Amino acid sequence: MSRHAQIEYEPDGDVLCDFHEDNSFVRILLGPLGSAKTTACVMEIYLRACAQKPAANGIRYTRWLCLRSTYPELETTTIKSWYGIFGEEFGRFTWGHPPRHHMKFGLSDGTKVDAEVIFLALDGPNAEDALRGMELTGVWPNEINEIRKPILDMARGRIGRYPGMKDGGPTWYGMFGDTNMPDEDHWVYKLAEESNPEGWRFFRQPGGVVKIGDDWVVNPRAENLHNLPDGYYLNQLGGNSEDWIRVYLAAEYGFVRDGRPVYGEYMDSVHCREVEGIEHLPIEIGADFGLTPAAVVGQEAPNGQIRWLDELVMEDAGAVRFAEALTEKLNRDWSGYKISNMTGDPSGNTRAETDEDTVFNVMSANGHDFVPAETNVFTPRREAVAVPLSRLIDGEPGLIMSPRCKQLRKAMAGGYAFRRMRIAGEERFTDKPDKNHYSHIAEAGQYLNLGFGKGRMIIQRTDAHRKRYAHYGQKPQMDRSDRRDF
């Protein structure tokens, strides 16, 4: 047994420090490449092993399981990272099935650490059966986004069973994992951003890069920068797609899509933040109608900043049900605010063939006096949102959105997109966004911003463009979406 084989470790970043100091049963660390996520998890095993209460014989017993989705990844990445920090001086490493590192070393207080670390690849034979029989202190799923949640649910049932009570039981037991940013359909995203289960905590590090204008630059708030070579992030920008940069370098959620996002200006870590309504300032509402109606509640602050505060999204609902649901939401969540304006899709003024009534009439009969937006032309609608997204007001983004707007957040981050066209030899997209379950809430946000007056300038430019060519007896040259709407 090695004598005093200890390591000095200082995490470089506030999120890393919070991760180590937290004692939640499940902790997941999310961040960009190079942010020391793996190192933090490696050191977490060491720190917890050293903090384990010693048994009567003065030995601190723990047993840990490291999971990886495939054996090649386990061998070339996870074990390599582990062994780069803890060599043979900490105890014997054996390449069995599975590989193990039995760490035995002394501490300066005279106690000894006996920590067994098991490395298991889930693509190996009988991996799940081996997992069922383990008695563990804790589990580290490396790259947790690549591991199926049922496997982790099974692993959690093996935690807290070592050391036994005769040796004092585990001082702390639980699961901690690391990952790059998953997409919106991933279980990690749903737990972190939607359900927030009790006993789980998610630690999101700042991105390694941020976008200023059209350029990606190194984020001065990035963690672990002091341990990276010069140009680490900038050298990875060239040759990689915008989506790849957003996920692996900027630490933005990567969404599953086969298209081009309508709002490339949107950055989740910049534009989405905790925000409350401004007291004594009225709220406004934007809505898109149809059988998948949606509404966005917002305010325009005195300095011109737009705040998207809440949302309502429904499926297979007519105007009456939508009106009732909107009434319930406003009474429940926004009863202390006056409503100054309600702006809706102008097509809501079209009479239905069945009863010759309009959506606006139905909404008005239920207490919601919507007025048609100035236009439903796509370009002004998009610019009404894109312009404040790109602005800074008093050092803050010109548009911010509350995490309460869950569906709208997904839409802005890429669910609302131009569909990829199947054309051999080149990459092309449709000139209007794909109609899907993200488009309705996104368009409700557009109508809200039109109600704030954010589309008037471009609408005026469009009208002037038409008048300029009127005396030639021809229509102005615009994109196809504008021609059709006009």
Q: State pLDDT tens for residues 202-261.
A: 999 999 999 998 899 999 999 999 999 999 999 999 888 888 899 999 999 876 455 788
Q: Summarize the confidence of residues 346-369 as an average pLDDT.
A: 80
60-94 burial string, b = 16+ CB within 10 Å, else e? bbbbbbbbbbebebbeeebbebbeeebeeebbebe
- Does 170 sit behind a cis peptide bond, omega within 30 degrees of 0 on the bond before it? no
Torsion 483-484-485-486 (CA) sign: positive
Q: State pLDDT tens for residues 105-114.
A: 999 999 999 9
- The pLDDT of residue 476 is 39
Q: State pLDDT tens for residues 25-68.
A: 999 999 999 999 999 999 999 999 999 999 999 999 999 999 99
Report pTM.
Answer: 0.60
* CA-derived radius of gyration, the chain: 28
Q: State pLDDT tens for residues 134-155.
A: 999 999 999 998 898 888 999 9
The angle formed by the CA atoms of residues 274, 277 and 279, to the nearest 5 degrees, is 140
- What ranges do the domains of the chain cover? 14-204, 209-257, 283-454
Topology of domain 14-204, CATH: Rossmann fold (3.40.50)
Q: Are strands 91-94 and 100-106 parallel, antiparallel or unpaired?
A: antiparallel
- The pLDDT of residue 340 is 95
C-beta separation of 53 from 171 below 8 A: yes
Q: Is the pLDDT of residue 132 over 70?
A: yes
pLDDT band at 461 (very low <50, low <70, confident <90, very high): low
Lookup: tokens for 29: 């660390």
C-beta separation of 452 from 302 below 8 A: no
Lookup: tokens for 288: 């898109």
Find the length of the chain. 486
Q: If one looks up domain 283-454 in CATH, what number appears?
A: 3.30.420.280
Q: Is the pLDDT of residue 426 over 80?
A: no
- Residue 223 — φ and ψ, nearest 5°? -90, 150
Distance CA 410, CA 439 (A): 10
pLDDT band at 468 (very low <50, low <70, confident <90, very high): very low
Of 389, 411, 202, whose CA–CA distance to 311 is shortest? 411
Distance CA 437, CA 255 (A): 14
Q: Across all residues in the chain, what is the average pLDDT? A: 87
**Residue indicated by tokens 């569906």:** 407
Lookup: tokens for 445: 């946000």
- DSSP codes, 109-166: TS-EEEEEEEEEETTSTTHHHHHHT--BSEEEEBTGGGS-HHHHHHHHTTBT--S-GG
DSSP label at 381?
H
- The pLDDT of residue 80 is 94
Lookup: tokens for 8: 């000095």
C-beta separation of 322 from 315 below 8 A: no
Q: Could you tell me how many helices (H) and strands (E) the chain has, helices first?
A: 16, 21
Of 194, 173, 172, 192, whose CA–CA distance to 182 is shortest? 192
Same fold, 14-204 and 283-454: no
CB neighbour list of residue 479: distance below 8 Å, 6 or more residues apart: 378, 379, 431
